[in-house]
A and B are shown apart, each in its own frame.
Chain A
Amino acid sequence: MNPARLWGGRIDMPGMTMAEKILARASRTASARPGQIVDGYVDLLYMHEMLALAIKPFEEIGVKKVWDPAKCVVTLDHWVPPPNEQIARMHQAIREFCWAQGIERFHDVGDHGIVHQLVVERGYVHPGELVIGCDSHTNMAGALGAFAAGIGATETAAVMATGKLWLKVPETLDVRVHGKLAKRTGAKDVILKVIQTTGDDGAAYKSVEFHGDTIKAFPMNERFTLSNMTTEMGAKAGMVPSDESTKNYLEAAGAKDAYRPLDSDSDAGYVKVYDIDVNGMGPQVACPNNPANVKPIEDVAGTKIDMAFLGSCTNARIEDLRAAAEILKGEKVAPHVRLIVTPASQAIYRQAVKEGLAQIFLEAGATFTSSTCGPCFGGHMGVLAPKEVCISSTNRNYPGRMGSPEAQVYLGSPYTVAASALHGVLTDPREA
């Protein structure tokens, strides 16, 4: 048997990509080919505040109970804790819905996290599964070898009612990344380079797979950052083959038995292959106002900033906080800069306190907040005024994303955010 056929697919059929294998399994068919429209049965449906908008359409459909509450996960992340009564009512409606429906994996304020981080760190996402989330960055869960795609509120209601959704089997782009990165350069810099190469719609309607020695060497936290920002390539899903790193991560998350190796077949068909050499590449930043407007940090170093934000599902894991703390330890952020550090989950928050990272940030003059999406989408806890300039470890910088449409947002790695906060200007972290 062809050793590349790790899971799914029969030896007598042409090879399949990861997306094709997973969608074939999820739609209970032997094969799924690009362009085919399938009904995919969902292994995991995860939701945040958008659930509040899905309750009414769910009730209108006329179904009384969620198809399978054990396959649902709900947390609160966009506005935590609620900044006003309107949001408090929204949270209240969600809480009551979860209780009434018997959704046991409801993670309320205090036990919460940004949903994409929460579902991976608790071991809810497994290789080979069809994972649907009501948020565009659901792609992140694809780093564990799942097909993970985002939907909106009405469709969330439909999945809650039926347990399935229609999907057009996507074509797949193969992104092969090779080489050893420079010091203080990581997955964020790589994915920005990839987005620059493909454009912010280069993977529209498509699945993206990552291969190559650089990817293989990335631990899971880095792989999450890669898959997360395939959303900014327009991708439907962004996947990393599951291997030993995946296995170790799942084991630590309490989902050891869910591990299975998964990769595309060696004869799978790709619509396009990118070979990207990152050998010796240093930090990259996406400049205003598009995630594909990417430059090496050297080109924009010296630009004065007002705010630095270390947060979001993209880059606020414990490893990201450690990276920033390495630069900020014993230092003070520039007097004119507000540094806001917001862990991606409460589990990370607790770990950061335990390791003394919180202390380092606080002594450096940062604001260290509980977990929320808040500033990333201009919601609360650090919104930008007109003309302000921000360096952010987040994923998007479209006009008005983080507050005023006249604010300027640069996207960079946790190292770049910390180094820039320290010096008050965009700074190459290799020189910090």
Chain B
Amino acid sequence: MTVQTMLTGRVWKFGDGISTDHIIAGRYLGSSDPQVLGEHAMENVDPQFAKKVKMGDIIVAATNFGCGSSREQAPIALRAAGISCVVASTFARIFYRNSINIGFPVIECPGLHEKVKEGDTIAVDLEAGHVVLPGGEKIPSQPLPPNILEILRAGGLVPKLKAELEATRV
């Protein structure tokens, strides 16, 4: 599995401080089944969210997205619900690392939140480091450090380590 670095999708907008309790509630943490988690994604904000999302949609949020717990079920739930990428002004650190580690693209793009509305179609270019608005305007995003791009290109931390391990055995 490799991660696409050019993503186009429909926007779902969220504000500041969307916590992991918003993204996937504690009552579902007994499950590690992505499908179950995906069905309850964002339930504490919008109980209908998982039903409305289409494959490839993009979340655009303001600051501190994913604050709170270290639960990896949060990015797993979003991906399983169909979300292809989260673009936020800033992320909470563990959510950010968890996302990259499972090969789920997340990118910081301060200012984008004010420039898009729900339902817009935007394009995210992870490698070039920008987001393209419906009118064609390009908003620069924070460039991903080389080590993070490397993990994403490999499809996540597990495939990356696996490949490295296999390389040392040859």
Residues of A within 8 A of B (CB): 37, 50, 52-53, 57, 60-63, 78-79, 84, 86-87, 90, 134-136, 138, 150-155, 157-158, 161-162, 166, 168, 200-201, 204-205, 234, 236, 290, 377-379, 383, 396, 398-401, 403, 405
Contacts and interface: CB of A to CB of B under 8 A. Distances in A.
Contacts of B98: 151-155
Contacts of A87: 30
Given A150-B94, A154-B156, A377-B26, A204 B64 contact: yes
A157 B158 contact: yes
Contacts of A399: 21-22, 44-45
A290 B32 CA distance: 27
Given A79-B30, A136-B68, A200-B17, 4 more contacts: A86-B31, A154-B98, A377-B29, A399-B22
Contacts of A153: 72, 98
Contacts of A138: 70
A19 B101 CA distance: 24
Nearest to A158: B157
A154 B102 contact: yes
Contacts of A136: 68-70, 94
A62 B147 contact: no
Contacts of B161: 61, 158, 161-162
Contact of B158 (A50, A57, A204): A57
A134 B21 contact: no
Contacts of A290: 17
A154 B157 contact: yes
A152 B26 contact: no
B90 A201 contact: yes
B145 interface: yes
Given A86-B30, A155-B101, A379-B29, A135 B70 contact: yes
B30 A201 contact: no
Nearest to A83: B30
27 contacts: A37-B145, A57-B157, A62-B165, A84-B30, A136-B94, A150-B70, A152-B72, A152-B101, A154-B156, A154-B157, A154-B158, A155-B97, A155-B98, A200-B67, A201-B92, A204-B90, A234-B92, A236-B93, A290-B17, A378-B27, A379-B26, A398-B17, A399-B44, A400-B26, A400-B44, A401-B21, A405-B44
B8 interface: no
Contact of B70 (A50, A79, A90, A161): A50
Contacts of A155: 97-98, 101, 157
Contacts of A398: 17, 19, 21-22, 67-68
A151 B72 CA distance: 9
B68 A201 contact: no
A377 B21 CA distance: 9
A204 B92 contact: yes
Q: Which of B22, B71, B145, B161 has the most CB of A within 10 A?
A: B161
Nearest to B63: A201
B162 interface: yes
List of 4 A-B pairs having minimum Cβ-Cβ separation, nearest first: A152-B98, A400-B44, A201-B64, A152-B72
Contacts of B90: 201, 204
B53 interface: no
Contacts of B27: 378-379, 383, 403
A155 B99 CA distance: 11
A31 to B, nearest CB: 20
Nearest to A82: B30
Contacts of A158: 101, 157-158, 161
Interface in B100-124: 101-102
A14 to B, nearest CB: 24
Nearest to A167: B97
Contacts of B19: 396, 398, 401
Given A90-B30, A150-B70, A154-B102, A60 B162 contact: yes
A161 B157 CA distance: 12
Contacts of A63: 165
Contact of A154 (B30, B72, B166): B72
Contacts of B32: 52-53
Contacts of A378: 21, 25-27
Contacts of B92: 201, 204, 234
A401 B17 CA distance: 14
Interface in B21-40: 21-22, 25-27, 29-32
Contacts of A234: 64, 67, 92-93
Contacts of B158: 57, 60-61, 154, 157-158
A134 B71 CA distance: 9
A383 to B, nearest CB: 8
Contacts of A86: 30-31
Interface in B146-161: 147, 156-158, 161
Contacts of B67: 200-201, 234, 398
Contact of B166 (A37, A62, A236): A62
Interface string B28-63: 011110000000000011000000000000000001
B32 to A, nearest CB: 5
Contacts of A53: 32, 72-73
Which among B93, B101, B145 has the greatest number of chain A C-beta atoms within 10 A?
Answer: B93
Contacts of B97: 151-152, 155
Contacts of B101: 152, 154-155, 158
Contacts of B63: 201
